[in-house]
Amino acid sequence: MKLKTLFPLLMLVIVMVSGCRTGEAQTPEDTGKMPYGEVGFAFITPRALPAVVTKALIIDNEKVISTFRTLDSTQSDPDVVDTWNSRMDDGGIQFNKVRHPPALMLFCWDSIIDKKTYETRLTFSSALREKMSIPTDKDRRGNTGWYKTLLFGLAPEGKVRIWLLNSAGGDNLLVEPVKITTLSGDKLDACRGVPSRIDFNYSIPDGYDPDIKNFIKGKHYPYGSW
């Protein structure tokens, strides 16, 4: 990625942390790794309330900077209706991987149901790494389980929830970030100018796909409690 493309996002996220020092230059490999390898992250939406994540930037807690223009698809969970549940899955991860848990994160996403682009910024505490560094249990094959994947739920009104997925199975663990901010419209900053993957030139609700229109028929926005 060209530096002139990276800097607007990078500078915005770094400014979000007061007193952050990068320390001496080092390669990502010099920072080590988690006991299980890479940390995964995924995005999910409720049934028939789709969204698309278009760009992400992560500074992990070892100060490794990762930018993502190619991301795994945002999955829609058919079992998530009216509210989130504790047994959601990541749908499989190919691209969304970093070396360490995030300290700072920023991502741009297009909500089809809201007809808006959102910019979400998150700050995580060191407790996140602690939770992701301790084995959880054994899975059915006897393998050690870990909280090694972050799942981000994207809902109407630009609402975002976060969970840790237990690779051994069982309930997901809700994560409360130190700070979360979601912007839209003329308040967009780092996501301003990021190409949308959705053509918002449609009317609501007639421009929705039939499955969305059928699902929201008789329901009231935001179609659940998120």
Quick one: tokens of 202? 């449609």
3-state helix, strand, coil in the chain (%, to 5): 15, 35, 50
Amino acid letter, residue 11: M
Identify which of 158, 162, 160, 159 has the alpha carbon closest to the alpha carbon of residue 150.
162
Q: What is the dihedral of CA 2, 11, 75, 186, to 10 degrees?
A: -110
Average pLDDT, the chain: 89
The predicted structure's pLDDT at residue 1: 41
Quick one: tokens of 98? 């970093």
* pTM for the structure as a whole: 0.88
Residue 99 has pLDDT above 90, yes or no: yes
pLDDT per residue over 48-93, tens digit each?
999 999 999 999 999 999 999 999 999 999 999 999 999 898 888 9
pLDDT per residue over 186-218, tens digit each?
999 999 999 998 989 999 889 999 999 999 999
Assign 150 to helix, strand or coil: strand
Residue 146 has pLDDT above 90, yes or no: yes
Q: Cβ atoms within 10 A of the Cβ of 160, count?
A: 19
* pLDDT classification of 136: cutoffs 50, 70, 90: very high
**Quick one: average pLDDT of 159-164?**
98
Can you say whether the dihedral through the CA atoms of 115, 122, 136, 85 is positive or negative? negative
Q: Mean pLDDT lowest for which of 15-24, 44-53, 104-113, 151-160?
A: 15-24
Residue 156 has pLDDT above 80, yes or no: yes
The predicted structure's pLDDT at residue 29: 77
Quick one: tokens of 97? 């991987």
Residue 124 has pLDDT above 90, yes or no: yes
Q: What percent of the chain is predicted at pLDDT more than 90?
A: 75
